[in-house]
Chains A and B, each alone.
Chain A
Amino acid sequence: MDQSQEEFLRELLDDFKVEAAEHIEEIINGLLVLEKDNQSDESKAIIEKVFREIHSLKGASRAVNQSLIEQLCMSFESVFHAIKNDKIKLENEYFEQFYKAGDMLQMLVEGIDQKNTGVSAQQIQQLCRTFESMTSDSLPKTSSLFQQLQSKKEVKPQVDKKPLQESAPEEPQVNPAKELSTTGNKKPLSLQPTEPKASVSESETVRVATSKLYELLRQAEEMVSIKTALHFQIDQLNSIQNNFSTWRRSLLEQNNPNNQFAEDLASQNLFVRQHEEAVSRLRSNLEKLRHSTIRSVEELQLSVKKTLMFSFASLLNVAPKIVRDLSKASDKEVDLIIHGGEIEIDRRILEELKDPLIHLIRNCIDHGFESKQERIKAGKSPKGTLRIDVQYDANQKIELRISDDGAGIDLDKLKASALKNHIISQEELDGMKDSEIQMLIFSSGISTSKMITDVSGRGLGMAIVAEKITKIEGSIKLESKRHEGTTFTISLPQTLTSFRGILVRVANQLFILPTNSVVKALHLKPEMVNTIGSRKTIAYFDENIGLARLSDLLNIPSRSRKATAVNGFQALVVQMAQKKMALVIDEVMGEHEGVVKSLGAQLKKVRHIAGATLLGDGRIVPIVQISQLFESSHSMSGLRLSGGSEQKERETSDSGPKSILIAEDSITVRNMLRNLVEAAGYSVKTAVDGQEAFGFLQAEDFDLVVSDIEMPHMNGFELTSSIRQHAALMHLPVILVTSLDSADDRQRGLEAGANAYIIKSSFEKSNLIETINKLI
């Protein structure tokens, strides 16, 4: 077992201890209530709760291989199961045994990492036997323990402690157990205060709701504004001081010996100088205060952020299962190698990373790796290797690398898809380097997958990956070599820092652009602007990059257009995912550090604006979302084109709802599909098998066919082939829907000419509707 794995197991055990302590606490609390009252309706719910808690503890202990705890829970659980189902009655005498079990569980949990837990396997087995006899009592009434209990019931009024002595006759020799049974006896008073205390000191951790920690972090980050405010105040004092000294100089100039007000002036001069000095002192005090404040605020923020750090292992744990399931489903063999799981990162970043990671893994397996046969043909091992590495890079950033030794990105397919989906024009494509073309996979609407499946091919995923990563102030790069493999490198900050941005003025409004996306500020002359196609560009080092007015992209009226054009103008070069563009602005006002705030509950999502930050004087400045600017700059460059497509949309919407033919032999599924598709606004006709469907298709016009695979008379594959061979129906989109998820069937579907292949279990996720929308 290597070190990281050992560490992982220890972490797991630590988690288990915390969880188990909670379950045991709940069990004991439940028992305490039940002992007082087990007749009322409320007690039913508590019995149920105790049962659930024991059950959960059993499951958790099984997961971490704590067989003794599991064993004890199992028989404990069976007793409560019987009570719950009214198989046995909850007798007061039982409680001693229950408390004993609770105490034993607690000792077992606390002693997990010690050799001697103080509880022997025999004691546990003995208790288990007692529990078994409780449940078996209910059936054969002649059991010895039943009689025992009966007799206990009779003696109970006279001797209150009797049950304890009787039920634990062998214990006295064993010290810990004796102690336990006595604590059990003192129940309500002694149990509760001692228990949690013990478990807290043991693990030296406290469970705090993450929401509270975030609130703490928010408040700590709020203190950044104190930093900025102090800075602002100091600037103000500075200017007052300057005013004083100018005033004093002007006084001195008037001060000639002949002046009858000489004395007056001298006293004024003194007065001004005193105040000037006072201001100066105030300023330097404030400056000192600012320095110490900055230091403590930064320390505070760092400590709070550290409490929110988690190891990557908690995220990467999901990978093996996903890799296994997906590679099985696509009939590929993939070895997964993970390194660096112990590196810690802000929990919020981990949360945001989950979807991108899963998507990238899916992408690798679905598109990255070739089929076994292809791999053998290419002289590679039939088994692919997927590596996930986490490491620190040179800039103290964290690098998450996901690499496969698959086929690499097929540039030709990518170009074709980009052109087909109007993401880019041929002339733009011609001017791009291969590395830039590869970045196109992050544009929305791109897919090189021939077929849409439930995992991939809808061309949205990579765009979402890029967006999510930008959101957490990370960046993503891609290197791919045809036939050798693809590597995605995600660079991440260790914590979500407060926001740094470049403050700019555009049309008399202030905006702020994230510093990490701004590459350079330029002063441009009109003659430096070229026009390529319909786009304005400038030469930037060895590339041509697009040029746009920030005010145009944001759609705010700008009056300074003409003036700037003559005298030259300022522009910022911004970059996202290896794409660059230049934004024309009126003026750069400086750099600002602050906290990102939302625009308020009402403005949930505003195009181009990611949020806002506050200046030292309380002014609000909107933060520009660079990724959306890139999107808008594309749509603006092809203004005519987008106008045309709008018109097209209107035309189609006028012609009424699109009609869809559903072929499915099961009446349940047929109706379900009909409801689903109709609800999405399509008109639906259904057929009971392929033959009937094909008949309808020849008689009426449809926009798309959804077909089951297994049907009598003519199955889905045959129906698809027939459609493809029919001159008038050749281009009709066909979606195959099936309960079979096999690579073979998918291949057959593709060969028959289907456009998409969807697995039935995934209907509800509106997978189908999305696919239909995409295809027509």
Chain B
Amino acid sequence: MKQEEQKILHERAKLLSVSASSNEKPDDQIAIVGFTLHPEKYAFEVVNVSEVLTMNELTPIPGTPAFIMGVVNLRGHIISVVNLKSFLGLTEGGLTQLNKIIVISDGKMIFGVLADEITGFSNFPSDKLLEPPVNLNGLLAEFVKGTLSDGTILLNASRMLTSKHLIIQD
């Protein structure tokens, strides 16, 4: 009996959920967290961002590549922090703050990415995503998903989280 009832309820739920999503069409929207790496604007998709924090204390770890800035204490857990500017080989644009940390995660891998400033959350239609410019350097090209009309570069966080270049095994 119960099984049957559940089956029915499940089917109803299914029907309902289909109609709801077809109304709002969230599939066609991309939710992003924007940030700046002075002077350029970047963004991650919200799905990969677990939180954003202000960096207080950073402990450098010797023997790691230059793009690993160090580690921070995230409520008792230690996470490493990456400087995308030096990882992606972006030209250092003068004095930057780099005191915000965007924590990205896919459940298995987690690390923080330094940012100068968080510009905020926003949605935009996925068909507005433009092809990345062709003149990007190697590593950047690998991790760019596309650009927005205002010049924001959408980075591919899930690829970063699984990239061998970013995991330190030595």
Q: How would residues 186 to 200 of chain A score, 1 for a CB under 8 Å from any chain B CB and 0 otherwise?
A: 000000000000000
Q: Any chain B CB within 8 A of the CB of A60?
A: no
Whether the pair B73, A604 counts as a contact (CB closer than 8 A) is no
Q: Any chain B CB within 8 A of the CB of A597?
A: yes
Residue of A nearest to B59 (CB): A620
Q: Any chain A CB within 8 A of the CB of B130?
A: no
Q: Any chain B CB within 8 A of the CB of A559?
A: no
Whether the pair B61, A599 counts as a contact (CB closer than 8 A) is yes
Whether the pair B61, A606 counts as a contact (CB closer than 8 A) is yes
In the assembled complex, the CB of A417 is this many whole angstroms from the nearest CB of chain B, namely 27
Cβ contacts A to B, 10 pairs, < 8 Å: A509-B59, A555-B62, A597-B77, A599-B80, A600-B110, A602-B166, A603-B68, A605-B169, A607-B170, A622-B59
Interface size on A, residues (CB 8 A): 26
Q: Among A225, A554, A556, A600, point to the contact of B71 (Cβ < 8 A).
A: A600
**A222 to B78 Cα, complex, angstroms:** 13
CB contacts (< 8 Å) of B62 on chain A: these are 509, 554-556, 608-609, 622
Whether the pair A614, B111 counts as a contact (CB closer than 8 A) is no
**Most chain A C-beta atoms within 10 Å of own C-beta, residue among B60, B78, B110:** B78
Known: A605-B169, A607-B170. Is A600-B63 also a contact (CB below 8 A)? no
**A599 to B80 Cα, complex, angstroms:** 7
Whether the pair B167, A602 counts as a contact (CB closer than 8 A) is yes
CB contacts (< 8 Å) of A640 on chain B: these are none
Q: Any chain A CB within 8 A of the CB of B154?
A: no
In the assembled complex, the CB of A35 is this many whole angstroms from the nearest CB of chain B, namely 16
Q: Any chain A CB within 8 A of the CB of B168?
A: yes
User: Top 6 A-B pairs ranked by shortest CB distance?
Assistant: A620-B59, A602-B111, A607-B63, A554-B62, A600-B79, A602-B80
Residue of B nearest to A624 (CB): B62
Q: Any chain B CB within 8 A of the CB of A108?
A: no
**A604 to B64 Cα, complex, angstroms:** 11
Q: Any chain A CB within 8 A of the CB of B57?
A: yes
Q: Any chain A CB within 8 A of the CB of B12?
A: no
In the assembled complex, the CB of B88 is this many whole angstroms from the nearest CB of chain A, namely 16
Whether the pair B169, A604 counts as a contact (CB closer than 8 A) is yes
Q: How would residues 673 to 695 of chain A score, 1 for a CB under 8 Å from any chain B CB and 0 otherwise?
A: 00000000000000000000000
Known: A605-B170, A606-B168. Is A600-B111 also a contact (CB below 8 A)? yes
Q: Any chain A CB within 8 A of the CB of B47?
A: no
Residues of A at the B interface (CB closer than 8 Å) are 222, 225, 509, 554-556, 597-609, 612, 614, 618-622
B58-98 contacts to A, CB under 8 A, are: 59-64, 68, 71-73, 76-80, 82
Whether the pair B57, A601 counts as a contact (CB closer than 8 A) is no
CB contacts (< 8 Å) of B169 on chain A: these are 604-605
Q: Any chain A CB within 8 A of the CB of B2?
A: no
Whether the pair A612, B63 counts as a contact (CB closer than 8 A) is no
CB contacts (< 8 Å) of A603 on chain B: these are 61, 64, 68, 71, 80, 168
Residues of B at the A interface (CB closer than 8 Å) are 57, 59-64, 68, 71-73, 76-80, 82, 108-111, 166-170
Residue of A nearest to B75 (CB): A618
CB contacts (< 8 Å) of B167 on chain A: these are 602, 604
**A554 to B63 Cα, complex, angstroms:** 7
CB contacts (< 8 Å) of B77 on chain A: these are 597, 600
Q: Among B61, B68, B76, point to the contact of A622 (Cβ < 8 A).
A: B61
Whether the pair A620, B71 counts as a contact (CB closer than 8 A) is yes
CB contacts (< 8 Å) of A621 on chain B: these are 59
In the assembled complex, the CB of A116 is this many whole angstroms from the nearest CB of chain B, namely 41
CB contacts (< 8 Å) of A620 on chain B: these are 57, 59, 71-73, 78
In the assembled complex, the CB of B100 is this many whole angstroms from the nearest CB of chain A, namely 18
CB contacts (< 8 Å) of A601 on chain B: these are 79, 108-111
In the assembled complex, the CB of A471 is this many whole angstroms from the nearest CB of chain B, namely 17
In the assembled complex, the CB of B159 is this many whole angstroms from the nearest CB of chain A, namely 14
In the assembled complex, the CB of A633 is this many whole angstroms from the nearest CB of chain B, namely 15
Residue of B nearest to A617 (CB): B57
CB contacts (< 8 Å) of A225 on chain B: these are 76
**A509 to B110 Cα, complex, angstroms:** 25
Whether the pair A608, B63 counts as a contact (CB closer than 8 A) is yes
CB contacts (< 8 Å) of B61 on chain A: these are 599, 603, 606, 609, 622
CB contacts (< 8 Å) of A609 on chain B: these are 61-63
In the assembled complex, the CB of B60 is this many whole angstroms from the nearest CB of chain A, namely 7
Whether the pair B109, A602 counts as a contact (CB closer than 8 A) is yes
**A29 to B23 Cα, complex, angstroms:** 44
**A598 to B73 Cα, complex, angstroms:** 11
Residue of A nearest to B60 (CB): A509
In the assembled complex, the CB of B116 is this many whole angstroms from the nearest CB of chain A, namely 21
Whether the pair A598, B78 counts as a contact (CB closer than 8 A) is yes
Whether the pair B170, A612 counts as a contact (CB closer than 8 A) is no
In the assembled complex, the CB of B111 is this many whole angstroms from the nearest CB of chain A, namely 4
In the assembled complex, the CB of A627 is this many whole angstroms from the nearest CB of chain B, namely 14
Whether the pair A597, B78 counts as a contact (CB closer than 8 A) is yes
Whether the pair B168, A612 counts as a contact (CB closer than 8 A) is no
Residue of B nearest to A550 (CB): B62
CB contacts (< 8 Å) of B72 on chain A: these are 620
CB contacts (< 8 Å) of B168 on chain A: these are 602-606
**A606 to B73 Cα, complex, angstroms:** 18
